[in-house]
């Protein structure tokens, strides 16, 4: 398993499927390449001070280390977004929550990018003028 480190990768996964838990949110996205499973961890500033956020992040990393790789799909990216409850939640409960969240992610259909109604049209005056007969 590799780690997600670039912001663009985190944003791409944010548009994918998600599953909520009391201590975290799991986001997932299928990639088109043949690379390994990649995992990212993030905790927002509203979850506490830097030491608390780091502790949440460390607990999430340890969850993934102890999790068997079977519930994770190959060629997928996952992001765990930590919540404040991850500070005090029982570790075995969080491990079960992660397994259940990954199963829920698999059952969700993949999001399809919505097409714009005027796909291919640039909307410039020149384009509109050339379309109207004179």
Measured between alpha carbons, how far is 63 from 103 in angstroms, rounded to an integer? 16
pLDDT, tens digit (0-9, with 9 covering 90-100), for 48-73: 999 999 999 999 999 999 988 777 88
Model confidence at 115, pLDDT cuts 50, 70, 90, reads: very low
Measured between alpha carbons, how far is 21 from 94 in angstroms, rounded to an integer? 9
pLDDT, tens digit (0-9, with 9 covering 90-100), for 69-87: 777 888 899 999 999 999 9
Measured between alpha carbons, how far is 4 from 10 in angstroms, rounded to an integer? 7
Strands (E), the chain: 2-3, 17-20, 24-30, 38-43, 76-82
Residues 6+ apart with CB under 8 A from 70: none
Model confidence at 90, pLDDT cuts 50, 70, 90, reads: very high
State how far the alpha carbon of 9 is from the alpha carbons of 30, 67, 79, 86, 123, in Å. Answer: 12, 22, 10, 24, 31
Residue 112: the pLDDT is: 52
Q: What's 116's DSSP letter?
A: P
**pTM score, whole prediction:** 0.78
Beta bridge partners of 17: 28
Model confidence at 116, pLDDT cuts 50, 70, 90, reads: very low
Measured between alpha carbons, how far is 60 from 102 in angstroms, rounded to an integer? 14
């Amino acid at each position: 398993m590799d780690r997600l480190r670039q912001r663009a990768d985190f944003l791409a996964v944010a548009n994918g499927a998600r599953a909520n838990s009391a201590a975290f949110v799991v986001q997932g996205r299928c990639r088109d390449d043949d690379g390994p499973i990649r995992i990212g961890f993030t905790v927002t500033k509203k979850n506490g001070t830097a030491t608390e956020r780091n502790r949440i992040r460390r607990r999430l990393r340890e969850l993934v280390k102890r999790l068997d790789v079977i519930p994770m799909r190959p060629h997928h990216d996952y992001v765990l977004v930590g919540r404040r409850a991850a500070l005090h939640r029982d570790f075995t409960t969080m491990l079960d929550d992660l397994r259940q969240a990954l199963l829920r992610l698999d059952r969700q259909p993949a999001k399809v990018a919505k097409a714009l109604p005027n796909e291919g049209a640039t909307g410039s005056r020149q384009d509109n003028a050339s379309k109207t007969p004179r």
